[in-house]
Amino acid sequence: NAGVTQTPKFQVLKTGQSMTLQCAQDMNHEYMSWYRQDPGMGLRLIHYSVGAGITDQGEVPNGYNVSRSTTEDFPLRLLSAAPSQTSVYFCASSSTGLDYEQYFGPGTRLTVT
Amino acid sequence: LAKTTQPISMDSYEGQEVNITCSHNNIATNDYITWYQQFPSQGPRFIIQGYKTKVTNEVASLFIPADRKSSTLSLPRVSLSDTAVYYCLVGDSSASKIIFGSGTRLSIRP
């Protein structure tokens, strides 16, 4: 199993551009989530999903959209990139819930200039 | 909303036992306590989870007193490879209550 995969590993955007961060898992997990981690800080929950077709907001959802059309994939869309969105983005999945064991991807390092 | 408080950093030496304490005074009845480890440039990795008393697995032990207002992660006989940031989380099935906090930066010296 590949576990949780994320693409791209690195991305540089200009202010106002849009893009999609990809996340996929091959463990048939129902729960998936997106976090951002700013330098020296802990992770903050952006959006999460409890199954295909179901998504909800986390702690810092503004400026991001998600959808969950399949169990495997959970893309994160940046609508109009801002320098404040410069961060490392982690995707995670879990079979039992966000408060139980989550498996994290390797992260995407995003810089917005 | 259950917030956690941990020491910002700790230092220890190879072969020692390391105990990292986490305070969570507002923990709710249904909340579990979960610890993650994060190496630089990697995503967090689950270490251990518990609800009360003591939980042990192959890498760590988790001690939770009866009032559940704190918990202690115990790493036996640490090595250089245990140098990482350790996060204590509390939360229930409501995802919006999952907060990582700033974690404890553990440095292990030879």
How large is the average pLDDT for residues A23-43? Answer: 93
Are B55 and B61 spatial neighbours (Cβ–Cβ below 8 Å)?
yes
Distance of CA B106 to the CA centre of its chain: 11
Average pLDDT value for chain B = 91
Confidence class for position B26, pLDDT limits 50, 70, 90? confident
pLDDT for position B100: 80
Q: Which residue of A has its CA nearest to B101?
A: A42
Does residue A25 surpass a pLDDT of 60? yes
Which percentage of chain B shows pLDDT scores above 90? 75
Contact A98 B42 (CB under 8 A): no
Q: For residues B74 and B9, give the distance between their C-alpha atoms in angstroms, rounded to a whole number.
A: 15
CB contact under 8 A, B43 and A97: no
Lowest mean pLDDT among A16-20, A42-46, B13-17, B61-65: A42-46
Residues of A within 8 A of B49 (CB-CB) are: 100-101
Tokens (6 digits) for A51 = 């199954």
Cα(B6)–Cα(A42) distance, integer angstroms: 12
Tell which of A6, A96, A99 to mutate to test the B interface (max B CBs under 10 Å).
A99
* pLDDT at residue number A42: 87
Minimal CA separation from B52 to chain A, in Å: 15
Q: Is B44 within 8 Å of A106 (Cβ atoms)?
A: no
Our measurement of the distance from residue B15's CA atom to the centroid of its chain's CA atoms, rounded to an integer in Å, reads 19
